[in-house]
Amino acid sequence: MRTINWQSWTPQLPKLPRPTRKEHFPEAELLEKYTTKDSQFTEIDGMKIHYRDQGSGPVLLLVHGLISSLHLWNKWTELLKDDFRIIRLDLPGFGLSDAPETVDQSLIDNYVKTIKGLLDQLGVDKCHIAGSSMGGWVSWEMTAQHPELIDKMILVCSAGYQTKDQQPKGFSYIKPFFKRYLELLSFPLFLTRHMVMHRAYSQRIFIKKKLLLRRYDLINRASNRKFLAKLCALEIYPDFKKIKDIKKDSLILWGDKDMVIESRDAFKFRCDLENSKLVLFEGQGHAPCQEVVHQTVFHTRRFLNGKMTDRESFTYERALFV
C-alpha cells in the first residue's frame, strides 16, 4: 500500500490577486466581509471592540495572537460551543477592533484591562481562558493579575520567555525600516504568505486562499497597519517570573517543529506552572489549534472536564490529519 509523506507532500498554493495602488481596504467592505450574525461590538475604554459570544455552558474565553484575529478560533468554536459558552474578541489593533492611540510598555496590561472590561460587561465572574502565541502571554498575565476570574488556563505555543538576546541577528536594524515602510505602504502580500506558510504552519495543505486573503486584508486595515508600525518600534518582553506564581490548573499545547516560539519554551512552562500538563504534537508548527484541530479540541475538552489523569502530565502525540 502506498504511503504519503505529509512532511514532503506540498501542493501548490492557490494564486492570489495582485494588490493595486488604490485604497483597496475600505472599512465598510471589511466589516461586511468579516462579520457574521454572531459578531457584536461594544465600547471599552473609548475603543470599539469586536467580539463573538456563542454556545452555552461554562465560559471559555479565547485570545488570539500577534497579527491575527478571533477568526483563528473558528473551528474550536464550532466543536466546543455545544459544551461551552465561547467568548472571543479581536484585541485592540487587530481584526475589526479599534487600535489604541498610543503603544507603549503597558500594551499587555492594557489588553488584560480590555478583556476584564468585556467580561464585566457580559456579566462573567468566572471563566476558563485559552490563548495562542501572544494571546497566551495575555492569558497568563490575565490569570496572574485576576486569579479570582480564571478557573483553568490553556496555552497554545505561548509567548512567555522571550528576551532581547533572543532576537535574530540584525533584527534591531531592520525594525526602523519596517516601521517606516508600514507607515507609508501596505503590508506585502508575499510577506503575508511567507509568514503564514513558512513560519506558522507546518503543512501547506492547510494554507487556504480564504485564510491568506483574510489575514492580508485585516493586517492592511488602515488602523491596524498604523498600529503595527508603532508596534515595530516597541521593545517589550514578558516578566516570566510571574509565571511561577500561577497555581491554576494549566494545559500546554505545542508543536514540536514550532519555528516562531521554540518548543523548549513548552518545557519551561511545564516546569514553572506547578499544576500543568503538556501535550506536544509531532511535526506541528505554531498553529496546532488550526492544523490538528480535532486533537487539540479533544485534549482541551478532557482537560476542562477534569478527565486528564496525572499520568498525562506529558504526552507526545503523533499528528493525525482529519
* Cβ(128)–Cβ(151) below 8 Å: yes
**Residue 251: beta bridge partners?**
154, 277
> What's the CATH fold of domain 27-166+237-318?
Rossmann fold (3.40.50)
Confidence of residue 15 (pLDDT cuts 50, 70, 90): low
Say how many CA atoms lie within 13 Å of 306 toward its Cβ.
Answer: 2
Residue 94 buriedness (CB in 10 A; 0-12 / 13-18 / 19+): buried
Confidence at residue 318, expressed as pLDDT on a 0 to 100 scale: 80
Confidence of residue 12 (pLDDT cuts 50, 70, 90): low
Q: What is the DSSP string of 51-84?
A: EEEEE-SSEEEEE--TT--GGGGHHHHHHHTTTS
**Residue 237's CB: how many other CB atoms inside 10 A?**
15
Helix (H) or strand (E) holding 34: helix 27-34
- Please state whether 235 falls in left (phi above 0), alpha (psi between -120 and 50) or beta: beta
Confidence at residue 83, expressed as pLDDT on a 0 to 100 scale: 97
pLDDT, tens digit, 9 for 90 and up, residues 51-94: 999 999 999 999 999 999 999 999 999 999 999 999 999 999 99
Residue length of the chain: 322
pLDDT, tens digit, 9 for 90 and up, residues 206-259: 677 888 889 999 999 999 999 999 998 888 999 999 999 999 999 999 999 998
Mean pLDDT is highest, among 19-28, 116-125, 155-164, 178-187, for 116-125
The pTM score is 0.90
CA distance 250 to 134: 17
State mean pLDDT over 30-59.
Answer: 97
Strand 47-55 relative to strand 127-132, pairing? unpaired
Kindly report the CA angle at 298 between 296 and 304, in degrees rounded to 5?
95
* Cβ(11)–Cβ(18) below 8 Å: no
Confidence of residue 95 (pLDDT cuts 50, 70, 90): very high
Confidence at residue 82, expressed as pLDDT on a 0 to 100 scale: 97
Give 20's contacts (C-beta < 8 A, 6+ positions apart): none
Share of the chain above pLDDT 90, in %: 70
Confidence at residue 205, expressed as pLDDT on a 0 to 100 scale: 63
**Residue 89: beta bridge partners?**
51, 63
Min mean pLDDT across 4-13, 184-193, 261-270 is at 4-13
> In this model, does residue 16 exceed pLDDT 70?
no
Question: Residues 299, 275, 55, 48: is their CA dihedral positive or negative?
Answer: negative
State mean pLDDT over 119-141.
Answer: 98
Confidence at residue 172, expressed as pLDDT on a 0 to 100 scale: 65
Residue tagged 501535550 (cell numbers): 279
